[in-house]
Structure 1
Amino acid sequence: MTRFPTASSQWRRATVGAAALLLACAPLAACSSDSDDNPLGIGTFDPEAMASAEASESAAAAAASASAAASAEAAGIVTAESLSTDRYVVTSIPEGLDEQQTEVLKAFINYDQVTWNIWFTRTGAENAEPLMTAEAYRRLKNGFEELGDGHTDGTVRVSVKAVTAVAYARAQIAICGDQSDLVSYDANGNDISNPETLQGRYETVITMVYEDGAWKESDETTLTVNECVV
C-alpha cells in the first residue's frame, strides 16, 4: 500500500471589583471613563476595544512567529513550521539533525509536497521527475494515469519520526502521515473517497538515494494503518 492514489485504491485540525477592573483595562486600552457619569473615574468595559486589542495581539504574535521561522530558515535551520504549506502541514521533525540529515529531510519534504500537489490538482506529474529515481517516477506516472481527471481537497499532516543514514548515499525517513481530512473527486465532481484506502493515518518508511548530485525518492513502504500518531 502506498500513500498515493490509483483508480482502484484512492490513496492515500456577574460583578467585578473596581481594582481588578482597573488592572484589566490598563494594558488592553479596552475600557473607557466618563467623568460626568462616573465620578470615581472607574473604567467601564468596552467589548469592541477589547476585541480590537485581542486581534492586534493575535496579528502581532502571528507576525513574530512567521519572522522567527524565516530567520531560522535563512540561518540554515529547518523547523516544522518552515517546512509547512497550507495543504501540507509538518507537525514535528526530529531534534538534533546534522547537516546531511537536514538535507535529506528537506529533499524528502520537497518531493512529498510536489507529489501531493500532483494528486491535489491532477496536473504537473513532470514536476516530480527530477525528485525521484527513474523507476519510482515510472510508478508514479502509472498511478497518475490510472487515476484519471479530478481533484482532491483537504490537508495532509505529516510527523517526521526519524531521518537515518542506512548506507553510503542512502537514507531512510520514517513518518506518520494523516490523510483523514482528504476528499477525492472524479472529473464530474463525484466524491470517490474510500475511507479504507485514503482517509487514514499511515506509518511509512521512505528510502532516499543520492543520485546525480541530489537526494531523490527511491521507494516507500507502509508499515501500519491507523496506528501511528501525528
Structure 2
Amino acid sequence: MKTYRSAVTILFLSAALLVGCSSGGEKANPSVPAYTSDADNSGGTAAAESASVDDYSSAEASASSTSATDGPLTAEGLSDPATEYTVLSIPDDLDELQQEALRAYIAYDRATWEGYRTEDGDLSAVEATTSGDALESYKKSYDEYMSAGQHAEGSFNNSVLRVDMYDEVIHPAAEVTACSDFRSIRIVDSSGNDVTKDGSKVLAAYSISLVRNDGKWTVTSWSRNTASKLCTQ
C-alpha cells in the first residue's frame, strides 16, 4: 500500500498552504482554502469553502459534516447545499467497506472545508474525522488563517474517482482518489477583501489515505498529483 505523509488543507495550506492529494506530487490537504503551487504540504481538507463566517455557526458545521455519514450514498446525498459543498460523482458498485471509507472521506472533506469557512475555533468535526499528520497539519494551517483574520468563501466541488482497499481483514485501510475543484473558492480577510493567492484556483487530483481503528475510519494523510490527467472538467 502506498503511504502519503499528509493530506487535506489545500487552499488554506497553500494560501497558507492548502491543497493535497495523490501520488507523484506535493503532499497537502484537499478540501480547504489556500494553495501553493508545487510545494510539499500536509494538512486536512477535506475539503474548500463557501459562505461567510457570519452565515453559519459551528453547530451547523458540525451537524453538516456528520450528516455525510447518514444520508443516501449518492453524489447528491453526500453534498451539502448549505455550505456550497457539492459532490459531482462517486464510483458505482462499492462494497460495504468501500462505502464506509467513502463516507468517512466525505465527512472529513466537508469538516475541513467548513472549518476554513467559519474559522470559529471549533475543530471538533475535523478531529472526529482526521488523525495523525493530516490533523496536525490542518490545525497549523487553520491557526495561521485565524491569526490573520481570514476565512474561505465560495463553493467547492469534488468528484470521487476510486476507492481502493488494502489489508481488509486485519487492518483495513483505504485510498480515495478524487478531483478537487478550488476554482470557485476565495480567501477573504476581516474587512471583506479578497486576498486569494495567485494560482490557488485549481482543479487537482488527490490521493487520500484512511485507516480503520475500532470500527472508525479517519483520514491520516493525503497527497496531490501535479501531473495527473485524471481531472479535466
Unaligned stretches of 5+ in structure 2?
1-6, 18-32, 36-68
% of aligned pairs identical? Answer: 29
Partners of 1:121 and 1:164 lie apart in 2 by 32
For residue 99 of structure 2, the aligned residue among 88, 98, 102 is: 102
Cα distance in 2 for partners of 1:85, 1:156 equals: 10
Rounded to whole Å, the distance in 1 between the matches of 2:80 and 2:228 is: 23
TM-score, normalised to structure 2, is 0.66
1:100 Cα deviation from its structure 2 partner: 0.6
Letter in 2 for 1:202: A
Larger gyration radius, structure 1 or structure 2:
1
Shift of the alpha carbon at 1:136? 2.2
Equivalent runs, 1:122-201 vs 2, <5 Å: 122-123=119-120, 124-148=122-146, 149-167=149-167, 168-196=171-199, 198-201=200-203
Q: Quick one: which of 79, 94, 107 aligns to 2:74? A: 79
Which runs of structure 2 are paired with 1:45-84 in the superposition (5 Å)?
A: 78-84=73-79
1:3 aligns with 2:10: yes
For the residue of structure 1 that corresponds to 2:151, the secondary structure is strand
Paired AA for residue 221 in structure 1? S
> How far off is 1:110 after superposition?
0.7
User: Deviations 1:162-216 (Å, cap 9, x if unpaired)?
Assistant: 00003331100000011100111112222110131x2111100000001242100
CA distance in 1, matches of 2:152, 2:176: 25
Contact 2:16 2:141 in 1 (8 A): no
Contact 1:202–1:225 (CA<8 Å) still a contact in 2? Answer: no
Pick 1 or 2: higher relative contact order, CA cutoff 8 A, min separation 6.
2
SS of the residue aligned with 2:180?
A: strand
Shift of the 92–143 alpha-carbon distance from structure 1 to 2, 3 Å rule, reads: same
The 2-side partners of 1:131 and 1:77 are apart by 19
What's the CA shift string for 1:39-70, capped at 9, x where partnerless? xxxxxxxxxxxxxxxxxxxxxxxxxxxxxxxx
Deviations 1:123-180, CA, capped at 9 Å, x for gaps: 2223211211143211111111112222221111000000000333110000001110
Contact 1:108 1:216 in 2 (8 A): yes
- What's 2:66 paired with? none
Structure number with higher helix proportion = 1
Off by >6 Å, runs of 4+ in structure 1: none
Match of 1:90 among 77, 87, 92: 87
Matched pairs, number: 168
Q: CA 1:8 to 1:133, structure 2 compared with 1: closer, same or farther past 3 Å?
A: closer
**TM-score scaled by structure 1?**
0.66
Tell me how large the CA RMSD over aligned residues is: 2.3
Q: Which runs of 5+ in 1 are unaligned?
A: 13-72
In structure 2, the CA distance between the partners of 1:98 and 1:226, relative to structure 1 (3 Å rule), is closer
Aligned partners of 1:139 and 1:126: how far apart in 2? 15
**TM-superposed deviation, 1:4:** 4.0
